[in-house]
């Protein structure tokens, strides 16, 4: 037997939205690529949506908060110091297993925030540079939508046509029209007709966050991963990476991990790509501190873990006298408004927000309130239930969060997970600009609901269980003094270390980030191939 650790050309940490896209883009070129994923495969063919207790699953094994879900592959998060709680999923597919699949792109202006509005920083990449990767990603994920939105640049025809509105969302659309405000059918990572490898058209069932037995709703375990594995990528599940080990001040040499049987393993890597989201990536790099890198790996700027952005969101719910059957149809993907998306000098805040329609929920979700309010117990309970169930529709006010160093991810040195790693600790507070934006957006959403004829309007000023978007904690930039990675997602400090998840966002924009995360990851993989002398230009 020869000794020494196993060797790979590329080791990817995390098999979620970004890791899957990067793995696919790098596959098929003769590289030995190993992906280490903490979680396991999720069998979506036996989704809880097939069972009468499906709503209990949403409160337990599919709860978005790992502290509540407490699955065997989860790590806890110390969240006492943040009003917005963590929401993520550990599995092949990552949080795309648990998402609603709303699929908007950042705007061109989102990449030029400093230049246009004098705040935060510009991105070192532009919308036109990412556009071909957005298009590739749309085809790989399978998207329903309609080109022609006047709030966004022209884009290619969507791979499948838009998902329909329902009685509830038609009311909202009509209200936007009456007010003279923008709305458009959502781009959704859900296919409206049969698509690709055995994916059936959406059948309007509703709870996308439980996984999709028809495979209509995209998640990277059914989109990128089957192709990447056929292309030779070695995906290893239930492998918890515990540290990245360096061989010099500027090179990472190996990845240490605990496999599914509890064995401690190590694999040498020519390049390491980290895609564990803006929480897990900071945690891993901070936990990889050594004598060479005392404040964590890739942290000479001191920015690692800082500038956490979470898209603070208010929810405004309209209750209508008429029965709307609003539980029917994908929960999060019907229509959005970007009327108030761009900076407007007349406002008392800079940047902007998106309004996104949310349909109603099932009986348990209605009673518990979901993102809204819990119904009262006691004698009035059933009357209130009947007033709201199937009679409500909501608008989110999703705000652009500006980067602030005090908002951050650190290691909680007093707590360790099942594998001996320090638990990540979130510290976060709302900025004044965000508060003003939430207030403005809530008023506008109330106006929509009133125009739509709501008999009651209920406001949740800040959705707590909604920390789905961890952004900014390893931001990209041209200056190594103020950023962690460059525009190609390569660490300024460590030549062969890349970060490809939402950590690298210098600014958050005001839309769901996954399409942009994946476009950035695809481009970063392309740039790596170029540096390795393997290919140039985006893969068709």
Partner 1 sequence: MTASLLSAILDRLLPGNSEGWPAAGKLGLAPSVGAFMSRTPEGAAWLEVVLSGTAPDFLELTPARQTRDLKRLEAAEPEAFERLVVAAYNMYYTHPEVRGVIERLTGYEARPPQPLGYEMEPFDEALLVRQKQRAPFWRRTGGEA
Chain positions 58 to 97 lying near partner 1, rule: CB under 8 A, are 59-60, 70
- Interface with partner 1: number of residues (CB under 8 A): 73
Distance CA 219, CA 235 (A): 16
Of 452, 169, 171, 167, which is closest to residue 323 (Cα–Cα)?
Answer: 167
Of 287, 289, 240, 288, which is closest to residue 264 (Cα–Cα)?
Answer: 240
Torsion of Cα atoms, 166 then 167 then 172 then 173, to 10°: 60
Contact range with partner 1 by CB under 8 A, out of 252-260, 303-311, 367-375, 493-501: 367-375
158 or 293: whose CB is closer to partner 1? Answer: 158
- The answer to whether the beta carbons of residues 14 and 275 sit under 8 Å apart is yes
Q: How far is the CB of 132 from partner 1 (least distance, A)?
A: 11
119 or 151: whose CB is closer to partner 1? Answer: 151
Residues 379-418, mask of contacts with partner 1 (x by CB under 8 A): x-xx---x--xx----------------------------
- 163 makes contact with partner 1 (CB under 8 A): yes
Which residue in 43, 177, 197, 478 binds partner 1 (CB under 8 A)? 177
Which residue in 54, 133, 428, 468 binds partner 1 (CB under 8 A)? 54
Which residue in 39, 206, 209, 424 binds partner 1 (CB under 8 A)? 206
Which residue in 107, 215, 306, 444 binds partner 1 (CB under 8 A)? 107
Half-sphere exposure of 514 (CA within 13 A, CB side): 28
Which residue in 103, 127, 224, 349 binds partner 1 (CB under 8 A)? 127
Distance CA 412, CA 342 (A): 37
Q: How far is the CB of 170 from partner 1 (least distance, A)?
A: 7
- 53 makes contact with partner 1 (CB under 8 A): yes
Q: How far is the CB of 90 from partner 1 (least distance, A)?
A: 18
Which residue in 119, 151, 289, 457 binds partner 1 (CB under 8 A)? 151
164 or 232: whose CB is closer to partner 1? Answer: 164
Which residue in 43, 56, 230, 292 binds partner 1 (CB under 8 A)? 56
284 or 511: whose CB is closer to partner 1? Answer: 511
Residue ranges in 300-359 that form contacts with partner 1 under rule CB under 8 A = 323, 325, 327-329, 342
Q: 38: which 2 tokens?
A: 């903490």
- The answer to whether the beta carbons of residues 447 and 268 sit under 8 Å apart is no
Q: How far is the CB of 152 from partner 1 (least distance, A)?
A: 6
- 367 makes contact with partner 1 (CB under 8 A): yes
Which residue in 18, 49, 78, 512 binds partner 1 (CB under 8 A)? 49
Q: How far is the CB of 215 from partner 1 (least distance, A)?
A: 12
Strand, coil or helix: 189? coil
Distance CA 346, CA 212 (A): 44
Contact range with partner 1 by CB under 8 A, out of 107-115, 265-273, 297-305, 453-461: 107-115
- 478 makes contact with partner 1 (CB under 8 A): no
Q: Which H/E stretch holds residue 396?
A: strand 392-399
∠ CA 229-155-473, nearest 5°, is 60
- 280 makes contact with partner 1 (CB under 8 A): no
- 147 makes contact with partner 1 (CB under 8 A): no
Contact range with partner 1 by CB under 8 A, out of 84-92, 169-177, 404-412, 510-518: 169-177
Contact range with partner 1 by CB under 8 A, out of 6-14, 124-132, 303-311, 524-532: 124-132
193 or 532: whose CB is closer to partner 1? Answer: 193
Q: How far is the CB of 503 from partner 1 (least distance, A)?
A: 24
Q: Which H/E stretch holds residue 435?
A: helix 432-452
Q: How far is the CB of 69 from partner 1 (least distance, A)?
A: 11
Q: Please give, one letter per residue, the 3-state secondary structure of 286-304.
A: HHCCCCCCCCCCCCCCCCC
- 363 makes contact with partner 1 (CB under 8 A): yes
- The answer to whether the beta carbons of residues 129 and 121 sit under 8 Å apart is no
Q: Which H/E stretch holds residue 170?
A: helix 167-179
Q: How far is the CB of 487 from partner 1 (least distance, A)?
A: 15
Which residue in 99, 133, 184, 505 binds partner 1 (CB under 8 A)? 184
- 374 makes contact with partner 1 (CB under 8 A): yes
What percentage of the chain's residues is helix, strand, coil (to nearest 5)? 25, 20, 50
Q: Tell me, what DSSP letter sits at residue 469?
A: -
Q: How far is the CB of 210 from partner 1 (least distance, A)?
A: 8
Query: Which letter, b or e, does each residue of 233-266 get, where b requires 16 or more Cβ atoms within 10 Å of its Cβ?
Result: bebebbbbbbbbbbeeeeebbbbbbbeeeeeebe
Q: How far is the CB of 118 from partner 1 (least distance, A)?
A: 14
Distance CA 350, CA 113 (A): 10
Secondary structure (DSSP) of 294-346: TT-TT-TTS-TTBS-B---EEEEEEE-SS---TTSS-SS-SEEE-TT-S--TT
């Amino acid at each position: 037997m020869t000794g020494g650790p196993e060797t790979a050309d590329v080791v990817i940490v995390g098999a979620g939205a970004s890791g899957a896209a990067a793995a696919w883009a790098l596959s098929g070129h003769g590289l030995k690529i190993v992906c280490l994923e903490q979680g396991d495969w999720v069998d979506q063919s036996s989704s809880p949506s097939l069972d009468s207790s499906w709503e209990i699953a949403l409160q337990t094994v599919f709860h978005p908060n790992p502290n509540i879900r407490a699955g065997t592959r989860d790590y806890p998060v110390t969240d006492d110091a943040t009003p917005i709680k963590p929401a993520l999923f550990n599995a092949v597919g990552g949080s795309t297993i648990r998402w609603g699949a709303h699929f908007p792109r950042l705007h061109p202006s989102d990449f030029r925030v400093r230049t246009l509005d004098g705040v935060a920083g510009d991105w070192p990449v532009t919308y036109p540079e990412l556009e071909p990767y957005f298009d590739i990603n749309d085809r790989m994920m399978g998207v329903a939508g309609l080109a022609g939105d006047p709030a966004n640049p022209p884009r290619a025809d969507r791979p499948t046509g838009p998902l329909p509105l329902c009685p509830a969302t038609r009311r909202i659309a009509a209200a936007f029209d009456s007010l003279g405000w923008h709305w458009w059918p959502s781009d959704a990572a859900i296919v409206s007709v049969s698509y690709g490898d055995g994916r059936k058209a959406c059948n309007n069932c509703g709870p996308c966050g439980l996984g999709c037995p028809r495979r209509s709703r995209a998640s990277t375990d059914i989109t990128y991963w089957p192709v990447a594995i056929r292309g030779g990528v070695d995906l290893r599940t239930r492998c918890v990476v515990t540290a990245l080990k360096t061989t010099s001040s500027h090179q990472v040499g190996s990845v240490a991990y605990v496999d599914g049987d509890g064995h401690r393993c190590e694999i040498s890597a020519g390049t390491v790509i980290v895609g564990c989201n803006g929480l897990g990536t900071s945690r891993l790099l901070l936990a990889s501190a050594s004598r060479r890198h005392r404040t964590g790996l890739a942290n000479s700027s001191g920015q690692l873990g800082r500038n956490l952005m979470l898209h603070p969101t208010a929810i405004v719910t309209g209750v209508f006298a008429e029965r709307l059957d609003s539980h029917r149809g994908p929960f999060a993907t019907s229509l959005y408004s970007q009327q108030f998306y761009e900076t407007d000098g007349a406002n008392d805040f800079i940047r902007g927000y998106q309004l996104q329609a949310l349909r109603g929920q099932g009986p348990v979700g209605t009673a518990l309130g979901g993102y809204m309010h819990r119904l009262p117990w006691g004698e009035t309970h059933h009357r209130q239930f009947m007033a709201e169930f199937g009679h409500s529709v909501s608008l989110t006010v999703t705000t652009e969060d500006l980067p602030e160093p005090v908002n951050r991810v650190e290691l909680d040195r007093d707590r360790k997970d099942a594998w001996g790693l320090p638990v990540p600790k979130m510290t976060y507070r709302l900025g004044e600009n965000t508060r003003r934006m939430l207030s403005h957006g809530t008023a506008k959403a109330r106006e929509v609901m009133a125009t739509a004829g709501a008999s009651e309007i209920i406001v949740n000023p800040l959705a707590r269980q909604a920390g789905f978007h961890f952004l900014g904690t390893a931001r990209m930039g041209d200056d190594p003094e103020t950023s962690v990675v460059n525009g190609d997602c390569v660490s300024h400090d460590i030549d062969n270390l890349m970060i490809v998840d939402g950590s690298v966002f210098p600014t958050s924009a005001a839309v769901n980030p996954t399409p942009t995360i994946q476009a950035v990851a695809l481009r970063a993989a392309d740039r790596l191939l170029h540096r390795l002398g393997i290919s140039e230009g985006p893969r068709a």
